[in-house]
Chains A and B, each alone.
Chain A
């Protein structure tokens, strides 16, 4: 079945880069997404990538996609305290529905 896996926790020092990794199983995924969820809030779409792309950069965010290995990563450059949140990897499946991972909690160390 469809599954999206990501590590549950990541701690990073302020100013360093954060790299959050994700693997997915549906080879027919057309879009892959990264969402951010802050405490008590809904989901905010951070960025997305088409499945025929390898990389997408948007300011401090870099998304890398290895379609062969079904591996997606999100790099946040110069991590700030405001980046502290849960980050969800998600894929759009063949039925056009979004499948989410369990989320990676990013903790920023001073």
Chain B
């Protein structure tokens, strides 16, 4: 148990729809990073939030957006869903913007776009 909770665990959406994924960070952590893990691939960095501000972004289009709340929980929003957005979405929380030795991952949300 890492203390990082993601919801929902599974989700099916239709192409063109919008989706919101949620992540509750571990107590005491102020940084959340989001990753996309397509089938058979390693996780790809989407973006990171530190103290409610975006702190770096990977190669993802603007239809991927996020929020971090005062309690440091976070949302990932994806608009205009495409079939290729089907993946496991992982969030990782840490106590500062270093996502290596201190990051704790949630179990992920598996999104299927049909």
Contact = CB atoms under 8 A, between A and B. Distances in A.
A98 B90 contact: no
Interface string B27-45: 0000001000000111111
Interface stretch (A52-60, A62-70, A76-84, A88-96): A88-96
B4 A96 contact: no
Contacts of A88: 42-43
B101 A96 contact: no
A50 to B, nearest CB: 10
Among A40, A44, A95, A98, residue most surrounded by chain B Cβ atoms (within 10 Å): A98
B-side interface mostly: loop
Q: For chain B, which range describes its interface: under 10, 10 to 19, 20 to 34, or 35 or more residues? A: 20 to 34
Nearest to B97: A96
A-side interface mostly: strand
A42 B42 contact: no
Nearest to A41: B107
B99 interface: yes
Given A33-B100, A97-B58, A103-B42, 17 more contacts: A4-B42, A31-B100, A31-B101, A42-B106, A43-B92, A43-B105, A45-B100, A88-B42, A92-B100, A96-B98, A97-B48, A97-B99, A98-B100, A98-B103, A100-B42, A101-B42, A102-B40
Interface of A: 4, 31, 33, 40-45, 48, 88, 90, 92, 95-103
Interface of B: 2, 4, 33, 40-45, 48, 56, 58, 90, 92, 97-101, 103, 105-108
